Amino acid sequence: MTLTPSRKLIYPDSDGQPMADNTLQFRWIVLFKENLECLFRDNADVFVGGDLLWYPVEGHPEIRVAPDVMVVFNRPKGERGSYRQWEENGIAPQVVLEILSPGNRLAEMAKKLEFYEQYGVEEYYIYDPQLNELNGYQRAGNRLRVIEEINGWVSPRLGIRFELNPDELLVYYPNGEQFKTTVELAQELEQTQQELIQKEQVLEQTQQELIQKEQVLEQTQQELIQKEQVLEQTQEQLNQERQRANQEMERAEQERQRAERLAAYLRSQGINPDEIGG
């Protein structure tokens, strides 16, 4: 009996469906994906995926879904063609976000809710940008329960806050900053770069001023050294003049003493020195 080799299972990286049905849906998908990437940029063990096929069960490539955005904690960043859970230490995405479009049917959303509930998602958010409606679900035991008060809700896993105003959804980082579009992020980066350039220019100018001040200080020190040298020379000259003056005074004193001795001798000889030369 000849055994037929088992067919190798294929897990496609694409389901053939577009990432978004329109520009509005695409903009919101990118908004969440890019800002969540920014939020966890310094955490090497948080993976953020966008429109990535998730296969939760090995051996069953037909069991799959492609969340618009998913966040997986305790998994490293990196490129993936799909998210195969058995190759990711069995860790399911903890947070999933879906952006609705007119093509999304209620039955499809109900099917996804059932899928996420069955395979371990902890938080599930659905936003309809055209109707400006946000719905959220949080795991309680084996079920995903509706979050009754979603306006002002803070995601336990992500720490982000959802605020619904009359026009659209606003999302805030844990530090209170608002989520930004790619254009806004680019503008912010450009502004930051300009500020860095200005700071570098100020720093360079400050360094030049310091160099100039150091040169002035060095010149002043040289002038002080020269003045000290002049002062030392002047003091040496004064000392020499003082020595010469002392020598002259000693010679004058010696002459006076000789004159007194001579006068005393002459008097002893009966000669009045005052009359000499008179």
How does pLDDT run across 169-195, given as a tens digit for each residue?
A: 999 999 999 999 888 878 887 888 888
Residue 238: per-residue pLDDT = 86
Mean pLDDT rounded to a whole number for the chain: 89
Confidence band for 7, pLDDT divided at 50, 70 and 90:
low
> Per the structure, how many domains does the chain have?
2
Rounded to an integer, the average pLDDT of 73-102 is 96
Domain boundary among 164, 180, 196: 180
- 39 plus 61 within the same structural domain: yes
- 77 plus 123 within the same structural domain: yes
pLDDT digits (tens, 9 = 90+) for 225-248: 899 898 888 888 888 888 888 888
% of the chain exceeding 70 in pLDDT: 95
Displacement of CA 274 from its chain's centroid (Å) = 105
- 196 plus 243 within the same structural domain: yes
> Does residue 196 lie in a domain region?
yes
> Does residue 1 lie in a domain region?
no
> Does residue 58 lie in a domain region?
yes
Dihedral sign of CA atoms 225, 226, 228, 232 in order: positive
Q: Is 88 exposed, middle or buried (0-12, 13-18, 19+ CB in 10 A)?
A: middle
Burial profile 48-80: b = 16 or more Cβ within 10 angstroms, e = fewer:
bbbbbbbbbeeeeeeebbbbbbbbbbebeeeee
Domain boundary among 180, 196, 227: 180
Residue 70: per-residue pLDDT = 98
Residue 3 scores a pLDDT above 70: no
Containing structural domain, residue 110? 23-180
Helix residue ranges, H only, the chain? 23-39, 106-118, 182-268
22 or 50: whose pLDDT is higher? 50
> Does residue 221 lie in a domain region?
yes
